[in-house]
Amino acid sequence: MSRLNTHRKPPRVGDQPLFRRLLIGVVLVLVALIIVAPLVIIGVEASAKGWAVYRDTIIHPDTRHAIMLTVLAALVAVPVNTAFGIAAAWAITKFDFWGKRFLLVLIEIPFSVSPIVAGVAYLFVYGLQGIFGPTLDAWDIKILFAIPGIILASMFVTAPFVARELIPLMQAQGRDLEEAATSLGASGWRTFFSVTLPNVKWALLYGVILCNARVMGEFGAVSVVSGNIRGQTNTLPLHIELLYHDYQATGAFASASILATIAVLTIIAKVALERQGAGRVRPQAKPAESNS
């Protein structure tokens, strides 16, 4: 009896069935109220007046332009931030240099700065009264209240996503494989494409998916630098706001259903990547103990 007592594990918080069921119930209620209910309302309101109204809203020229502009911003911002994230993660995890900690802090800035503050900052950099404003105006280059400003704002708010997914994984993997490849005569690029990149491909795809979802739904920074010009500089989130303020609730919900669909597809892709073992290693089975 004394031997059994020595191996008994201490009780954990939540071991009691009543407490565990209560905790799970509270979580499910919060998920239903905070996450599921808004998504259901979007679908219900979008189809409230029938398929014809929904279709007319989606194919309206202003809506189509907003969708195309959102896609364009993603097509530019996501590849650029993917390249930036790979370069930053590779430099931080595989090399030692002065200012590494400072670089990590800079990468985290878009997470700590409000997107609206970032948009205002761009006004003081590229606006007519900004640092580069007079020069840009002299060369007739328009950045703010145009497509370049929307892309720049989207790039700012999504800059850390890929890097944040890669850095922890590459730090855990260490440098042994790269050093071994280099000692065998592989060049830097050969080492990267043959050793480094295959080991982080799932985390990289996960970061790209999150970056794309963030670009598609960005509102704060883009609303400041775009000018909210209907049919010209309106992305899909801004177009939804304009429709709602124009008392076109059905049209606003119909447009919002597109972003909701993107969010659901993002979750599905996330789950698929996790099942593929994104950055994870399955534990090996322990060998059977001998009876001798």
The confidence score (pLDDT) of residue 283 equals 44
Summarize the confidence of residues 167-174 as an average pLDDT. Answer: 89
- Least confident window among 20-34, 55-69, 171-185, 271-285: 271-285
- Of 3.30.470.30, 1.10.3720.10, 1.20.810.10, 1.20.1080.10, which CATH number belongs to 50-275? 1.10.3720.10
Q: 174 vs 74, which has greater pLDDT? A: 74
The confidence score (pLDDT) of residue 138 equals 86
Distances (CA, A) of 214 to 145, 208, 263: 21, 10, 10
Q: Has residue 54 got a pLDDT over 60?
A: yes
Q: Are 123 and 224 in contact (CB under 8 A)?
A: yes
| Residue indicated by tokens 């590229």 | 126
229-252 pLDDT, tens per residue? 888 889 999 999 998 888 888 889
User: DSSP character for 114?
Assistant: -
Domain boundaries along the sequence of the chain: 12-46, 50-275
69-125 pLDDT, tens per residue? 999 999 999 999 999 999 999 889 888 888 888 989 999 899 888 899 999 999 999
249-291 pLDDT, tens per residue? 888 998 899 888 888 888 888 788 777 764 454 444 444 444 4
- Least confident window among 13-27, 63-77, 86-100, 157-171: 13-27
Backbone angles phi, psi at 212, to 5 degrees: -65, -45
* Three-state SS at 47: coil
Percent of the chain with pLDDT over 90: 30
Q: Has residue 177 got a pLDDT over 80?
A: yes
Closest CA to 253 of 241, 264, 263, 262: 241
Q: Are 67 and 258 in contact (CB under 8 A)?
A: yes
